[in-house]
């Protein structure tokens, strides 16, 4: 990070000492002073290098026993998600049941990590999940566009927390970010973090709208410095959603921040991870980029709806030896 | 396939004349086709990277994909997606596409005759095989929008119901093609499955796989949506447990005379009670080699009780 600091010309009247402070002390302590993020602290991303590295993650040979354990781990990391306009209490209850009982016929499989719903359905989910360890995550801050005044976003957040959400998934203002208004985005995240109280904050970068990996890296750094507990790729409403290169860049941001401060940040790729094989590639990537400490639901999540059934089908395939059909798994 | 069947493949013999260009008098190096499998409208190699050799009558040896269970699994996934697409097309369009396949096969006749001769047929046999294969497609193209009327029924019932039975496609069918008849036999088993509105994953004749791959090229240029027919080449014994046991497969059309294979298939088919149809037909020129009842084998009958007079 200091290398980036040295090479960037400063002619925008920005206050250098602040950045010095940023790089010297734990920036989270400074979270409410202005000008806390400048893109120069984010190193440029070598796109070709990232793509090649991602291709390498997909060549690992994974033996059967390991595969079974990885599939179970991946299942336990899923944020089972339903984010549709037509969501109803019934649908959420069904999803919550699925979260607690993924496939009862199969012994020894874990529950998923969380159920992710809109704020108005948090209470339903909370009630349905009572007594289990499954968390309730709510998307807030005018999800998925994020185009609302800050006051509305904060109210949205507080409402979700009051209703019982353990985790808040917020969206950043991509328009402002792309216009270079980093301080605006930074302050917004910091304000939402404050509104979250005890709830964990996941910051959705919506990488499908950020155009370049450089932007992804910048948004990751910005979100981390502004107080994110987790950074998340996408809303699932925009294509492309989570991809391996984008996730790798975000993992690298988390790694660099960890080296700098010793603070761990979680990662959640969301959208587009529909099959087990891809999920296993992601786990390999996390292991080889961040290390084994991140390989649990506290630090890594999959935002997905179809992935759970595919993992279950693979687990049953492992057990029975025959390829499975979706007809025999709950449809939700 | 610009090369005549009797011309052996030439070894590359490029002689440098010192300034980097080859001598113009050297014979041209033949370009041989790679026989790949056909999944989802594309021609990938087997994911396993394995091949098996087939020695041809012209002395050439071709390497054909030895498909793995994962190739079959991948083909099943795309066949499932394509099944809805194909079934939702009108019967008329399905018939027209089958007719188009016949047209494409006819125009590629010379290529098929040549390949059949490489695989051991005489010129006359090859000619008959291709012509009958074209005719068979036309036969099922005609039946595609007629079998429903023949086999559907209005049923007399004792209650005040209008009771009728109509046919629906079974879904995804795995077809193990006949070993001896590499084109006519293959077409004869695929065409009724397609006419019935099903998608299929086909395991071609192991020892005579060439025309199956070339037929896949015909299919891919016949307006047949990708994934409706998927063509694998490989070994039946290896793939049988995976085909027979696949829980997402609706029917299994198995051509073999091996009693052990039939027994295994029957046991595995019971897992999800898929339809199992076994046959050991060898003479595909016989009159019973084509029949609308062969379409019926891959249809489900839906009977509706509609209340009347209430």
Provide, as residue numbers in chain A, all residues whose Cβ is less than 8 Å from the Cβ of B201: none
Secondary structure (3-state) at A169 = strand
Active site residue A169: yes
CA distance B29 to B31: 6
Tell me if A134 sits within 8 A of A163, measured CB to CB: no
**Class of the A2-328 domain?**
alpha beta
Q: What is the pLDDT of residue A7?
A: 40
**pLDDT tens profile B12-46:** 454 445 555 555 688 999 898 999 999 999 999 99
DSSP β-bridge partners for residue A167: A137, A200
Domain count along chain B: 1
DSSP β-bridge partners for residue A270: A303
Helix (H) / strand (E) containing A114: strand A114-117
CA distance A321 to A108: 18
**Over B24-91, what HEC string results?**
CCCCCCCCCCCECCEECCECCCCCCCCEEEEECCCCCEEEEECCCHHHHHHHHHHHHHHHHHHHCCCH
Distances (CA, A) of B12 to A170, B2, B6, B30, B60: 64, 17, 18, 9, 15
CB nearest to B246's CB, from A322, A326, A328: A322
Does residue B42 belong to any structural domain of this protein?
no
Which residue has better confidence, A11 or A277?
A: A277
- Whether complex ipTM tops 0.85: no
Tell me if A254 sits within 8 A of A221, measured CB to CB: no
What residue spans define the domains of chain A?
Answer: 2-328
Closest CA to B196 of B228, B153, B225, B221: B228
Does residue B11 belong to any structural domain of this protein?
no
Q: What is the pLDDT of residue A177?
A: 96
Q: Helical H runs in B88-222?
A: 91-107, 109-118, 123-143, 147-151, 184-195, 210-219
Provide, as residue numbers in chain B, all residues whose Cβ is less than 8 Å from the Cβ of A322: 242, 245-247, 268, 271
Active site residue A268: yes
Residue B270 in contact with partner chain A when CB distance is under 8 A: no
Distance from CA of B1 to the nearest CA of A (A): 36
Closest CA to A214 of A254, A181, A241, A178: A178
Active site residue A277: no
Under 8 Å CB pairs connecting chains A and B tally to 25
Selected for mutation to probe chain A from B47, B174, B241, B247 (highest A CB count within 10 Å) is B247
Selected for mutation to probe chain B from A322, A326, A327 (highest B CB count within 10 Å) is A322
CB nearest to B272's CB, from A321, A325, A326: A325
Parent domain of B277:
63-307
Q: Across the interface, do B246 and A327 touch by the CB < 8 Å criterion?
A: no
CA distance A154 to A166: 16
β-strand pairing of B161-169 with B153-155 = antiparallel
Q: Across the interface, do B247 and A328 touch by the CB < 8 Å criterion?
A: yes
Distance from CA of B241 to the nearest CA of A (A): 8
Residue B271 in contact with partner chain A when CB distance is under 8 A: yes
Secondary structure (3-state) at A151 = helix
Does residue B21 belong to any structural domain of this protein?
no
**CATH code at position B77:** 3.40.605.10
Secondary structure (3-state) at B114 = helix
CA distance A207 to B178: 51
**pLDDT tens profile A88-126:** 999 999 999 999 999 999 999 999 999 999 999 999 999
Q: Across the interface, do B248 and A326 touch by the CB < 8 Å criterion?
A: yes
**pLDDT tens profile B213-264:** 999 999 999 999 999 999 999 999 999 999 999 999 999 999 999 999 999 9
Nearest CA in chain B to A316: B247
Does residue B74 belong to any structural domain of this protein?
yes
Does residue B85 belong to any structural domain of this protein?
yes
Helical pair A182-196 and A213-226, crossing angle rounded to 10 deg: 40
Nearest CA in chain A to B69: A323
Nearest CA in chain B to A320: B245
Q: What's the average model confidence in pLDDT over A243-260?
A: 97
As to burial, measured by CB atoms within 10 angstroms (0-12 exposed, 13-18 middle, 19+ buried), residue A258 is middle
Q: Which residues of A touch B (CB under 8 A)?
A: 321-328
Whether B276 shows a pLDDT value over 50: the answer reads yes
Q: Across the interface, do B247 and A324 touch by the CB < 8 Å criterion?
A: yes
Q: What's the average model confidence in pLDDT over A244-252?
A: 98
């Amino acid at each position: 990070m200091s290398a980036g600091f040295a090479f960037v010309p400063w002619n925008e009247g920005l206050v250098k000492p602040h950045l010095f402070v940023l790089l010297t002390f734990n920036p989270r302590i400074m979270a409410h002073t202005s000008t806390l993020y400048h893109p120069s602290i984010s190193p440029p991303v070598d796109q070709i290098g990232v793509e090649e590295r991602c291709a390498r993650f997909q060549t690992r040979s994974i033996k059967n026993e390991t595969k079974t354990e990885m599939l179970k781990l991946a299942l336990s990391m899923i944020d089972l998600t339903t984010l549709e306009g037509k969501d109803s209490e019934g649908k959420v209850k069904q999803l919550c049941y699925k979260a607690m009982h993924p496939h009862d016929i199969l012994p020894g499989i874990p529950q998923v990590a969380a159920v992710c719903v809109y704020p108005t359905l948090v209470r339903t989910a909370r009630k349905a999940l009572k007594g289990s360890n499954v968390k309730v995550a709510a998307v807030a801050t005018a999800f998925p566009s994020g185009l609302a005044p800050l006051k509305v976003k904060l109210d949205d957040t507080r409402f979700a927390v009051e209703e019982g959400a353990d985790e808040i998934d917020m969206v950043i203002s991509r328009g402002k970010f792309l216009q270079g208004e980093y301080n605006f985005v930074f302050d917004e995240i910091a304000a939402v973090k404050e509104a979250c109280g005890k709830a964990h904050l996941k910051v959705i970068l919506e990488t499908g709208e950020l155009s370049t990996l450089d932007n992804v890296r910048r948004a990751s750094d910005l979100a981390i410095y502004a107080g994110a507990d987790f950074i998340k790729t996408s809303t699932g409403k925009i294509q492309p959603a989570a991809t391996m290169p984008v996730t790798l860049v975000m993992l690298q941001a988390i790694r660099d921040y960890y080296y700098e401060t010793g603070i761990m940040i979680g990662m959640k790729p969301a959208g587009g991870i529909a099959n087990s094989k891809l999920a296993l590639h992601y786990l390999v990537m996390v292991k080889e980029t961040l290390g084994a400490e991140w390989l649990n639901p506290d630090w890594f999540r999959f935002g997905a709806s179809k992935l759970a059934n595919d993992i279950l089908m693979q687990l049953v395939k492992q057990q029975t030896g025959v390829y499975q059909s979706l007809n025999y798994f709950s449809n939700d | 396939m610009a090369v005549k069947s009797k011309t052996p493949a030439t070894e590359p013999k490029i002689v440098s004349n010192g300034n980097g260009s080859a001598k113009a008098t050297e014979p041209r190096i033949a370009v041989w086709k790679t026989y790949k499998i056909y999944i989802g409208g594309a021609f990938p190699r087997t994911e396993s990277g394995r091949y098996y050799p087939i020695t041809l009558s012209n002395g050439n040896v071709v390497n054909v994909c030895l498909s793995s269970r994962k190739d079959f699994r991948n083909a099943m996934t795309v066949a499932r997606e394509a099944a809805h697409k194909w079934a939702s097309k009108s019967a008329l369009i399905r018939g027209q596409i089958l007719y188009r396949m016949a047209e494409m096969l006819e125009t590629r006749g010379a290529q098929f005759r040549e390949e059949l001769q490489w695989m051991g047929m005489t010129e006359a046999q090859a000619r008959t095989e291709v012509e009958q294969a074209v005719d068979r497609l036309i036969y099922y193209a005609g039946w595609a929008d007629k079998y429903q009327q023949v086999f559907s029924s209005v049923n007399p019932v004792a209650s005040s119901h209008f009771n009728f039975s109509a046919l629906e496609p079974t879904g995804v069918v795995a077809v193990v093609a006949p070993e001896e008849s590499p084109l006519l036999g293959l077409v004869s088993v695929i065409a009724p499955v397609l006419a019935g509105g099903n998608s299929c994953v086909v395991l071609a004749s192991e020892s005579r796989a060439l025309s199956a791959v070339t037929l896949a090229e015909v299919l891919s240029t016949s307006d047949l949506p990708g994934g409706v027919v998927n063509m694998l080449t490989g070994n039946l014994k290896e793939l049988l447990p995976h085909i027979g046991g696949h829980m997402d497969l609706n029917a299994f059309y198995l051509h073999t005379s091996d009693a052990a294979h039939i027994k295994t298939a029957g046991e595995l088919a019971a897992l999800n009670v898929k339809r199992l149809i076994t046959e050991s037909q060898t003479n595909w020129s016989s009159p019973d080699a084509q029949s609308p009842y062969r379409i019926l084998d891959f249809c489900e009958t839906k009977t509706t009780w509609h209340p009347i007079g209430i």
